[in-house]
């Protein structure tokens, strides 16, 4: 899953980014409202974490613009802990949820996971496909009585495929959603990880459409 973090507090960003990455998210960052709004419109993000107190353009104005332009990406806003009016204004402007500063990372992650589950029609922190169960908390796959630990790339790849069952997804889209911002986005390496998943969980799990991409199939 690919996130956009729009936050001007560098110390907070330096704390949040590694924790979000550890939780299985690819994170891109903007430190002001104008650039954050541009990135949100130009790139395909699964979720946005948006601070309301941003330089150049406020987070509230950014949110209003995104919703006015029909961007339906889930947005979690960061507000001042004692500002109920900020929270109300943010929710009215189209935010999906909020976290008040200062916050515990576990709460932010739980709220973020919840709004993404709603977007993909999930009711729990697991994804299921045939006999596979992907546990999003432990980043493991349960198959029968066996538990498989996944690498970071394997987890992101399988999570994205299982969140879009039946959809043909190109190498380019997959690479954008599984590689870190500072990693080389080599779409050819996707085939290597696809084959690893096939070897572990069945050759028929993922179908290749040459020139188009991959599909998680029944």
| Residue boundaries of the structural domains of the chain | 2-119, 126-216
Q: Residue 202: which of 115, 144, 127 has the closest Cα?
A: 144
Which residues of the chain register pLDDT less than 70?
81, 181-187
Q: Angle 69-75-79 (CA atoms, 0-180°, nearest 5)?
A: 120
Give me the pLDDT at residue 178, please.
87
Give me the pLDDT at residue 80, please.
82
- CATH for the 2-119 domain, from 3.30.300.30, 3.40.50.720, 3.90.1170.50, 3.40.50.2300: 3.40.50.2300
Give me the pLDDT at residue 187, please.
62
pTM: 0.84
Give me the pLDDT at residue 182, please.
58
Query: How many Å apart are CA 74 and CA 88, to the nearest integer?
Result: 17
Strand, helix or coil for residue 99: strand
- CATH for the 126-216 domain, from 1.10.10.10, 3.30.1490.20, 3.30.420.10, 1.20.1420.20: 1.10.10.10
Each residue's pLDDT tens digit, 153-201: 999 999 999 999 889 999 888 988 888 765 555 667 888 899 999 999 9
Give me the pLDDT at residue 186, please.
63
CB count in 10 Å sphere of residue 134: 22
């Amino acid at each position: 899953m690919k996130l956009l973090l729009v936050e001007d507090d560098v110390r907070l960003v330096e704390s949040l980014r590694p924790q979000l990455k550890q939780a299985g998210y690819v994170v891109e960052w903007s430190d002001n409202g104008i650039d954050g709004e541009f990135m949100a419109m130009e790139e395909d993000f699964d979720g946005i974490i948006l601070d309301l107190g941003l330089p150049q353009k406020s987070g509230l104005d950014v949110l209003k613009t995104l919703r006015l332009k029909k961007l339906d990406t889930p947005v979690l806003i960061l507000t001042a802990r004692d500002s109920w009016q900020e929270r109300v204004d943010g929710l009215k402007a189209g935010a999906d949820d909020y976290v008040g500063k200062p916050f515990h990372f576990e709460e932010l992650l739980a709220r973020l996971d919840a709004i993404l589950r709603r977007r993909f029609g999930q009711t729990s922190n697991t994804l299921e496909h045939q006999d596979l169960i992907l546990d999003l908390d432990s980043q493991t796959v349960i198959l029968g009585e066996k538990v498989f630990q996944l690498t970071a790339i394997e987890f992101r790849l399988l999570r994205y495929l299982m969140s879009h069952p039946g959809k043909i997804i190109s190498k380019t889209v997959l690479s954008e959603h599984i590689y870190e911002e500072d990693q080389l986005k080599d779409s050819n390496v996707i085939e290597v990880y696809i084959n690893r998943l096939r070897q572990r969980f069945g050759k028929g799990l993922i179908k290749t459409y040459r020139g188009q991409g991959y599909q998680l199939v029944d």
